[in-house]
Structures are given as C-alpha cells and as structure tokens.
Amino acid sequence: MNADVAIASFWDERRIEDPTLPEALPEVWAFGATPEHADELLGLVLAGTKTGTASSLWDFEASGDPVPAVGDFSIILDGAGMPRAVLETTRIDTVPFCDVTAEHAHSEGEGDRTLADWRETHERYWRRYSENDRGFAPDMPVVCERFRLRYP
C-alpha cells in the first residue's frame, strides 16, 4: 500500500472510531529530519514522554507550511513514512529561542530533559537542518507546541 493510500485509510479509520474528528485530512508530518529521528521521537510520543515540540518560525515561513494552532490535528508518520499517531495541539507559544522555558524543554522528553540540553540539541539541529537561509540565531522565533496524543 502506498503512503498516500495508507494515510487516507488511517484517517478514515480514526474518524470511524471518533466521529468528532474533522472530515478533512489534517497536516501529515514526521518528527525530526531523518527516519531515525522520526522513529525515536515517535517512540517518546507513544510512551507518553513527549508532549511538546518546537519548530523554527522561519522554517514555516520558508516552506510555506501552516503554523500550528490550538485545536489542530496532525497525523504523525514513522521513519518509513507510514501513519502511526494522531496528535491534537493544545497550546502554542512563539518565543525567541533564548526565552524557551525549562518547562517546555522538559515536555519535549528528549535527552536529559533539561533546558541546557534542549538548547544544545536544538541549536545543532537548526544549524544543520533548517529549511530557511537564516538557519539559527539566539533570538530566532521558535514555535513551542504542546499536544496530546489522540491515537493510539
């Protein structure tokens, strides 16, 4: 089954289980920049450890992807590009990188869950994988998203 068919079937099945979900297919994406990142971070979500994520606002602007909003749903893909989870956005705060809180860093569930580790990891990530020409800056706008796992 190709990925597009699998994603559409996955959403149809979720809507049968929960008719309150919107009819329109939500944003579909994977965490991280590699299949290994996607699987690792998805694992943290499925374990209940990861309840937050952060994205560069500059990357959203460069890619044209919509900035998430409270109430949005997302289908999360694994490293092979197959749908594995449904998330619902519960909170959005856009702040400069230097103002991301320790609470948010902890919600991401990665590394030792400290703000220092979060800053080091995310600076390295954006320097390497940014989708925009500006890359990383200490005052760059970061979209801090909190979410809840709706499926599984």
- Please provide the DSSP assignment of 95-125 as one string: EEGGG--HHHHHHT--TT--HHHHHHHHHHH
* β-bridge partners, 24: none
- Residue-wise pLDDT tens for the chain (152 aa)? 688 899 999 999 999 999 999 999 999 999 999 999 999 999 999 999 999 999 999 999 999 999 999 999 999 999 999 999 999 999 999 999 999 999 999 999 999 999 999 999 999 999 999 999 999 999 999 999 999 999 99
Confidence (pLDDT) at 3: 82
Cα–Cα distance measured from residue 44 to residue 136, given in angstroms and rounded to the nearest whole number: 25
Cα–Cα distance measured from residue 82 to residue 85, given in angstroms and rounded to the nearest whole number: 10
Domains of the chain: 3-151 (3.10.400.10)
Residues 6+ away with beta carbon under 8 Å from 64: none
Residue 108 near residue 117 (C-beta atoms within 8 A): no
One-letter-per-residue 3-state SS of 73-94? EEEEECCCCCEEEEEEEEEEEE
Give this prediction's pTM: 0.93
Confidence (pLDDT) at 2: 83
> Are β-strands 27-29 and 73-77 bridged in parallel, bridged antiparallel, or unpaired?
parallel
